[in-house]
Amino acid sequence: QQQVKQSPQSLIVQKGGISIINCAYENTAFDYFPWYQQFPGKGPALLIAIRPDVSEKKEGRFTISFNKSAKQFSLHIMDSQPGDSATYFCAARVDKGSARQLTFGSGTQLTVLP
Amino acid sequence: KAGVTQTPRYLIKTRGQQVTLSCSPISGHRSVSWYQQTPGQGLQFLFEYFSETQRNKGNFPGRFSGRQFSNSRSEMNVSTLELGDSALYLCASSPTGRIATEAFFGQGTRLTVV
């Protein structure tokens, strides 16, 4: 129940295209859904996050779409750039009692071709 | 504002030894959580501390332990190292009492067990 399933495992997009990464979950106790970007040799960096009472959140070229009834959320990267090439992780948080933790998806390696 | 600092950055240990990793959170952040990152298992939650109290621990054996000091700095210890403990160990700090909200990650400590 703590799992977060992420797809695809890898994604290749042309410069200027839209990158879409999907995640699904089962645990209804999750109350916060962040996305992280990780470059080789670096720790994950928070990109954007959403709470389940919101269906969409946009920050610059990054948008999270959230479907509470389907228990799915996705990251859209508009006008993808070569500098966006990195590994992206979705995550989901439980913030109650002994179950308090952040669970990560398996990651998506994004390559944006110039 | 300084980021999350993890020391050392790289470590090579022999099977059976023990190791201590250190994490200095962003000033004012009181929640510190630890994660293990491996190619096979991805990012997995180890434990979380808030105000010197461990609030939750992930599904790891008792060889993995940690603590937090009054200045919010945290350490994790792994005893009787096994080859499978080779991983990138990441810590993250959060400005609120809620785990993972606006969490900032350090660059990690790369542990190699030989």
Mutate to test the interface with B, among A31, A93, A100, A104 (most CBs of B within 10 A): A100
- Are B43 and A46 within 8 A, CB to CB? no
What is the SS3 assignment for A78? coil
Q: Give per-residue pLDDT as tens, A14-65.
A: 999 999 999 999 999 899 999 999 999 899 999 999 999 999 999 999 999 9
How far apart CA B74 and CA B85 sit, in angstroms, is 19
Sequence-distant (6+) residues with CB within 8 A of A53 are none
| Nearest CB to A101; choose among B4, B58, B101 | B58
- Residue-by-residue pLDDT tens, chain B, 114 positions: 679 999 999 999 999 999 999 999 999 898 999 999 999 889 999 999 999 999 889 999 999 999 999 999 999 999 999 999 999 999 999 887 776 677 899 999 999 999
Query: Chain B window 64-93: which residues touch A at a Cβ cutoff of 8 Å?
Result: 90, 92
A15: number of Cβ within 10 Å = 13
**Chain A residues 43-102 with a CB less than 8 Å from chain B:** 43-46, 49, 89, 91, 93, 95, 98-102
Cβ–Cβ gap B48/A34 under 8 Å: no
Q: Give the three-class secondary structure for A52.
A: coil
